[in-house]
């Protein structure tokens, strides 16, 4: 596989363990270093505060939690992110629609392409 995401540290925030592991496998296969995966807002916040992160992949809902606090925090830190969701774009806040949205189930190439565009290599 091509290392399209080499040298990028990507935070994965996803509450479904199988989906999170699959994301980590795909992204690592493209050269990324995975931070997480985090399964809750609290876990993600801990990783954000203790790790260097270049960009993130965020599931919109983590169980019963919204990722809204993470959206604000990543925005304040100028860390770009991609939403990974099963929701229709129209169901997301208009403010969130400025970020790339990749729909579940995802095609790996679509996610990789979105991350390459928002996440510069170091």
pLDDT in tens, 44-74: 999 999 999 999 999 988 989 989 999 999 9
State the residue range of the domain holding 93: 9-118
CB neighbours of residue 71 within 10 Å: 19
Structure tokens at 2: 């091509």
> What is the predicted pLDDT for the residue at 97?
72
CA 7 to mean position of chain CA atoms: 16
Please write the tens of the pLDDT for every residue from 98-113.
788 888 887 899 999 9
What distance in Å separates the CA atoms of residue 108 and residue 75, rounded to the nearest whole number?
A: 25
> Residue 39: inside a domain, yes or no?
yes
Q: Based on C-alpha coordinates, what's the Rg of the chain?
A: 13
Residue 24 lies in a domain: yes
Query: How many domains does the chain contain in total?
Result: 1
- Residue at 4 is within a domain: no
> Residue 1: pLDDT above 80?
no
Task: Answer whether residue 86 is part of any domain.
Answer: yes
| 111 assigned to some structural domain | yes
What gap in Å lies between CA 78 and CA 99, rounded to an integer? 12
pLDDT in tens, 6-36: 989 999 999 999 999 999 999 999 999 999 9
CA–CA separation, 51 vs 46, rounded Å? 8
Is residue 3 in some structural domain?
no
Higher pLDDT, 32 or 94: 32
- Locate 38 and state its tokens: 């985090």
How is residue 43 written in tokens? 């876990």
Domain containing residue 105: CATH number? 3.40.50.2300
Q: What is the pLDDT of residue 103?
A: 87
In a domain, 2, yes or no: no
């Amino acid at each position: 596989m091509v290392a399209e995401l080499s040298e990028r540290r990507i935070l994965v925030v996803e509450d479904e363990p199988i989906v999170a592991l699959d994301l980590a496998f795909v992204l690592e296969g493209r050269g990324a270093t995975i931070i997480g995966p985090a399964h809750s807002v609290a876990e993600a916040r801990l990783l954000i505060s203790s790790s260097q992160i270049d960009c993130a992949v965020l599931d919109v809902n983590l169980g019963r939690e919204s990722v809204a606090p993470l959206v604000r925090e990543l925005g304040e830190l100028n860390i770009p992110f991609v939403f990974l969701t099963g929701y229709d774009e129209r169901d997301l806040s208009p403010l969130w629609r400025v970020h790339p949205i990749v729909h579940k189930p995802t095609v790996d190439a679509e996610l990789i392409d979105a991350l390459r565009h928002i996440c510069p290599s170091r």
